[in-house]
Chains A and B, each alone.
Chain A
């Protein structure tokens, strides 16, 4: 097993630790008085965490010069999608009893649900086209353009997180700051050299 392979296994193992503990706690009845709410919150937060980590790959690559980090990005993004699906399934089964019309009504009436659904809806085609085959089929440029949609999904995700809080916005604000930093870095890389060269001229 080479280092890349090993690191991938390392990521898979770590990514599966929280859901394993969650399942274990659920099985043992240790999720507190409202297990459904807890599973919803945990899967939702894990989705956001993995989305933010996958968005951190490019900045980290540029800052550290370790280009090989790109090899792990697909996997991190797919884990975000996986947790997002677990989040949706939990909501659909326990909150909505798989009542499709009830779910549609929820999406229609409640902005935070519409945002969450849209975010996951955006991640779906990105997950499908994440394979090497699809990169070839679409061509690198077009593939990259399509996958920039992840920025929209991340913004929707953070706003969705913010909207479900009653009054304590600590964690959504932390998520917002991290996302803003990741966006800020990209903008800086894109525009700062131009500004500098223009200033020289």
Chain B
């Protein structure tokens, strides 16, 4: 107290000045850190959804109603994708894949076939296109209803004329420079981030079907959705859709289809054999070792609904697996 009395009053910083400066610093610290926190939050969150910019498909026969399921909005179908070559963040694929060039594109058909050949994507788009509305169930426990456009895989198989010894069909996804280039057209160079080193699965992505599964009328090669050419994030320009299996079987951006006499390796079961098998049929009774497969969240809904055997296509496909133990052949 006595010290204070010795200081001349003119030397004392005016209280209001002192408080003002202090308040100014504090306000700055508050605003600055709050803004930084907000920016970090925003940065760690993917960009807002992108509009689909692919061209309309000129001619295809529309699916006939009435619909059993409500369609998942195109915004959700095209902004929530598992495409690990770009990123493992489902909401981030659309923007990373935006510049992906899928023209020119070739699909090599080889192996145990009578007529090995390299299809240009334009040849495949000439095949009569039809709309198929399918439920799509991801192994992660969510599902969508998607109006695909494409053609039965069987049509392509018939054109290739597989030998009697062909028992399986193997598929391969485009990945950077790792794919054999067709003799007729060069594949596009990887345009962007298609080199995700954190995916945790080996590339190129490969999948496979048993011959009778591949010939089943429900299995299609899809070239578009919602009447538009396939957006890059959904597997442009051509992908497999096998609606009674978990989504990862429906391989994207196919560059090669090979007929073989033995069960081909598939990416997820190669990465984690105890969790993913070759068949990977949707089955509510066989859980993923780490989570239940009994229910699913339909995108657009908050609660969960029951998952059905073979994703609700049991009537059509159960016959393919007669006598098989689906617990062992998961």
Contacts and interface: CB of A to CB of B under 8 A. Distances in A.
Interface centre among B26, B271, B272 (most CB of A within 10 A): B26
A21 B41 contact: yes
Contacts of B75: 33
A94 B30 contact: no
A10 B29 contact: yes
Contacts of A97: 303-304
B272 A167 contact: yes
A32 interface: yes
A30 B199 contact: no
Contact of B48 (A30, A36, A112, A169): A30
B302 A32 contact: no
B201 A36 contact: no
B20 to A, nearest CB: 14
Interface stretch (A12-20, A50-58, A190-198): A12-20
A8 interface: no
Nearest to A1: B26
B269 interface: no
Q: Contact residue range for chain B?
A: 35 or more
Interface of A: 6, 9-10, 13-14, 17-18, 21-22, 30, 32-38, 94-95, 97, 106, 109-112, 163-170
A170 B304 CA distance: 29
B201 A167 contact: yes
Interface string B7-46: 0000000000000000000100110011001100110001
B37 A110 contact: no
A165 B82 CA distance: 13
A18 B41 contact: yes
A22 B44 CA distance: 12
Interface string B84-116: 100010110000000000000000000000000
A34 B292 contact: no
A32 B49 contact: yes
A161 B142 CA distance: 19
B79 A110 contact: no
Interface in B269-326: 271-272, 287, 290-292, 297, 299-300, 302-304
A17 B41 contact: yes
A108 to B, nearest CB: 12
Contacts of B88: 166-168
Interface string B63-96: 0000000001001100110001000101100000
B79 A32 contact: yes
B140 interface: yes
A110 B272 contact: no
B30 A170 contact: no
A32 B302 CA distance: 13
Count chain A CB atoms within 10 A of each CB in B75, B79, B290 and give the residue with the most: B290
Contacts of A9: 30
Contacts of B76: 32-33
B199 A167 contact: yes
B201 A34 contact: no
Nearest to A163: B290
